[in-house]
């Protein structure tokens, strides 16, 4: 049965009819739309934040203001609501300029402009409707130098449990070139986030966020996905997601040993504090996104896909943007089409297995990056010398 997540009454009716005990809201749009509130009002247990708390992902400006109030380390910023105010705000920053659509833009609402002229052109484009309603306001941020990593935590609004780490690869091209995407690959755990740094992230970023949201009457329940920049001054928050992420979810869940359902239900029932620490396999998981040509702008749909012998030997293919034709042919039906995921004792081993699986797939109208996890592979090589 197909359900429209925007039709809250239909979702509630389905839950009542099927006696659903727990609803897990995965995508960001229904969370920002307040589906969790509607379900909770009818007594349905939900894993996912309220509409108010989901502003952490739904509004870049909301999160930046919250960080300022709570003293959470992040980049300097200015919120702008018109092209004129945005152009004037550029005077407060040095290139490169970081320009972010305030609302949801499927992970593509960030522009990094190398020059003032590029920034002005990008702002004109954004305020001309490039990102639709998501770009009605634009946040201009200080450019932070360092390496990016992702940290995950579960919370019921009071207790917090760490839920692993990952490194994503946002740019469409190898060597981190080209426009931002929803993610072209990831691996977990992120070795660069060692125990001391994870403790710092919990103490200085995650815990203050949970605390201030509760204090301000919008307690957060669900997963907090913190995108971090590891700077010389320590970890700083880039942005929050209110979900497990894609492709981060694939590598996290491939490694997870704990009972995910029990953890989610504990969050929903405000008893996370009774749960044991989350357990993960010691293995590394790495996923490569296979996208349709033209992504992230205008992906080609309909291209035939032959998975061949891609699965097995520690590799698994997750379908993201695929469909079957009436005669049973697998075809592309989206931008990011497949997530090819493999595990190994190291990033080097997981990477080799993942690309072996990718190379077994025949998808002429698809493409992928060849350097997912390469920075960590290079670090492992240096350590071995």
Does pLDDT of 239 surpass 90?
yes
Say if CB 45 and CB 69 are below 8 A apart: no
DSSP β-bridge partners for residue 240: 226
Question: CA triplet 40, 43, 47: central angle to 5 degrees?
Answer: 45
DSSP β-bridge partners for residue 187: 167, 286
Radius of gyration of the chain (CA): 21
pLDDT in the model for residue 108: 73
Mean predicted confidence (pLDDT) in 308-318 = 89
Q: Please give the C-alpha separations between residue 160 and each of 63, 188, 210, 278, 366, in angstroms, as whole numbers.
A: 19, 20, 8, 11, 40
pLDDT in the model for residue 133: 85
d(CA 190, CA 150): 8
pTM, to two decimals: 0.93
The number of CA neighbours under 13 Å toward the Cβ of 343 is: 16
Say if CB 39 and CB 3 are below 8 A apart: no
pLDDT in the model for residue 201: 98
Mean predicted confidence (pLDDT) in 238-261 = 96
pLDDT by residue (tens digit) across 108-164?
A: 788 999 999 999 999 999 999 888 888 899 999 999 999 999 999 999 999 999 999
DSSP β-bridge partners for residue 315: 312, 342
Q: CB pairs under 8 A, 24+ apart, for 195-199?
A: 197/230, 197/234, 197/235, 198/151, 198/162, 198/165
pLDDT by residue (tens digit) across 156-189?
A: 999 999 999 999 999 999 999 998 898 999 999 9
- Among candidate residues 182, 181, 201, 180, the one with its CA nearest the CA of residue 190: 201
């Amino acid at each position: 049965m197909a359900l429209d997540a925007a039709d809250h009454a239909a979702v509630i009716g389905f839950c009542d009819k099927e006696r659903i005990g727990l609803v897990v809201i995965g995508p960001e749009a229904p969370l920002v739309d307040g589906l969790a509130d509607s379900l909770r009002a009818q007594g349905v247990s939900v894993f996912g934040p309220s509409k108010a708390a989901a502003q952490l992902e739904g509004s870049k400006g909301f999160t930046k203001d919250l960080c300022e109030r709570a003293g959470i380390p992040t980049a300097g910023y200015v919120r702008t609501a018109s092209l004129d105010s945005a152009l004037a705000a550029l005077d407060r920053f040095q290139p490169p300029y970081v320009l972010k659509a305030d609302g949801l833009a499927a992970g593509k609402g960030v522009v990094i402009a190398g020059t003032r002229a590029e920034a002005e052109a990008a702002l004109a484009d954004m305020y001309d409707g490039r990102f639709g309603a998501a770009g009605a306001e634009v946040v201009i941020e200080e450019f932070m130098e360092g390496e990016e990593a992702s940290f995950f935590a579960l919370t019921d609004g009071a207790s917090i449990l760490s839920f692993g780490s990952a490194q994503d690869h946002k740019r469409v091209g190898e060597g981190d070139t080209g426009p931002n995407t929803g993610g072209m690959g990831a691996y977990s755990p992120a070795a660069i986030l060692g125990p001391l740094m994870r403790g710092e992230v919990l103490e200085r970023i995650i815990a203050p966020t949970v605390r201030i949201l509760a204090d301000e009457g919008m307690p957060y329940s669900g997963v907090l996905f913190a995108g971090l920049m590891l700077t010389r001054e320590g970890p700083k928050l880039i942005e929050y997601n209110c979900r497990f992420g894609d492709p981060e979810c694939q590598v996290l869940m491939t490694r997870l040993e704990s009972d995910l359902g029990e953890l989610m239900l504990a969050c929903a029932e405000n008893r996370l504090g009774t749960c044991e620490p989350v357990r993960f396999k010691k293995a590394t998981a790495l996923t490569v996104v296979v996208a349709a040509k033209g992504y992230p702008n205008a992906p080609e749909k309909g291209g035939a896909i032959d998975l061949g012998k891609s699965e097995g030997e520690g590799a698994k293919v997750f379908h993201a943007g695929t469909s079957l034709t009436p005669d049973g042919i697998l075809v592309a039906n989206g931008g990011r089409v497949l997530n090819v995921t493999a595990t190994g004792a190291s990033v080097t081993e997981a990477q080799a297995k993942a690309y072996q699986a990718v190379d077994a797939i025949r998808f002429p109208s698809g493409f992928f990056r060849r350097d997912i996890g390469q920075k960590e592979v290079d670090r492992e090589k240096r350590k071995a010398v």
